[in-house]
Amino acid sequence: MLSGIHFLLTMSCNFECAHCFLYCSPRFEGTFTLNQLRSVHDEMKKMGTIKTVYYEGGEPFLFYPLMLEGIKMSREMGANAGIVTNSYWAISDEDAELWLKPILDLGISDVSVSNDAFHHGDSKINPATRASAALHRLKASGGEICIQKPALDLAKTQEKGEPVIGGGAMFRGRAVDELITDELPRKHWTEFTECPHEELVSPARVHLDPFGGVHICQGLSMGNMWKTPLSELVKSYDASTHPICGPLVKGGPAELAKKYDVEHEDEYVDACHFCYTLRKELIDRFPEYLTPKEVYGFNQ
């Protein structure tokens, strides 16, 4: 049952991290309007199952007033609300509290700050540490998201269907183009017979982009909520008939490759690497489901 909605409030970001699932950058345009946020919240009320709403990006603080209005809507419908941010705004301890107080006054449940080498290098004192310290002083809930660079040990602690909050970078989006190296071990493509990370049959959370995409995984959409209302789209979703999810449920990326006879290499680092590479090849055949193109490095 779908219980979590994650707004990709804007696809724009002031950072351009090598590990970014969504290929976000200052050049990636696309932001929800206030009216679109109202429309989605109306749909969430119809569904009656949404308990948690997150505001992410890109970088949601780039559109601070819009983010505040969205949080208000989420709280008014009784949902818990959270934020994921790179904390660029925490330029001093005083400034960090200035930006956080209006959000905390709305009853935000979680503020997750990205603090790793991808975002802030090796600096021990940076915007993320300032934001974390401010949250502690203000007695607010929050934590740090720390993604490690790929290494020979690729074991991940992520539970299936849960967002990545630690461990190694995952090979989706820009990470495939910038972090895959010859040193990383690979397996034969026939070994990738399941999706190890996302709950494709009955997702508990989806990400919504401002173009209408309802992402089960980054760049893999149920359909377009501006064409079919979100409540109807979720209700009618059937993984077995979805052109991409169907093969993935049946036999993982290996089955997806066989079903559509996609030419590919023999070895990949992991299932995400293989799946993302296949989807990139299929994007023109299934533009409504493999979207937006920027997530796959196009139009950048």
* All structural domains of the chain: 4-85+149-178+201-237+289-296 (3.20.20.70)
Supply 146's token pair: 């720390």
pLDDT of residue 165: 43
pLDDT over 90 at 96, yes or no: yes
Max distance between CA atoms of the chain, in angstroms, equals 57
Segment 125-140, tens digit of pLDDT:
899 999 999 999 999 9
| Closest to 237 measured CA to CA, from 265, 216, 252, 266 | 216
Residues in the chain: 300
**Statement: the pTM of the whole predicted model exceeds 0.95:** no
pLDDT over 80 at 164, yes or no: no
| Distance (Å, whole) CA 267 – CA 264 | 9
pLDDT of residue 155: 45
Q: What pLDDT band is residue 170 in, cutting at 50, 70 and 90?
A: confident
Q: What pLDDT band is residue 149 in, cutting at 50, 70 and 90?
A: confident
Q: What is the mean pLDDT of residues 157-174?
A: 65
Supply 220's token pair: 């893999």
Segment 226-267, tens digit of pLDDT:
999 999 999 999 999 999 999 999 999 999 999 999 999 999
Paired with 215 in beta bridges are 207, 221
Q: What burial class does residue 139 get, using C-beta atoms within 10 Å of its C-beta: 0-12 exposed, 13-18 middle, 19+ buried?
A: exposed
How many other C-beta atoms lie within 10 A of the C-beta of residue 163?
16
Look at phi and psi of residue 223 and say left if phi exceeds 0, alpha if psi is from -120 to 50, else beta.
Answer: left
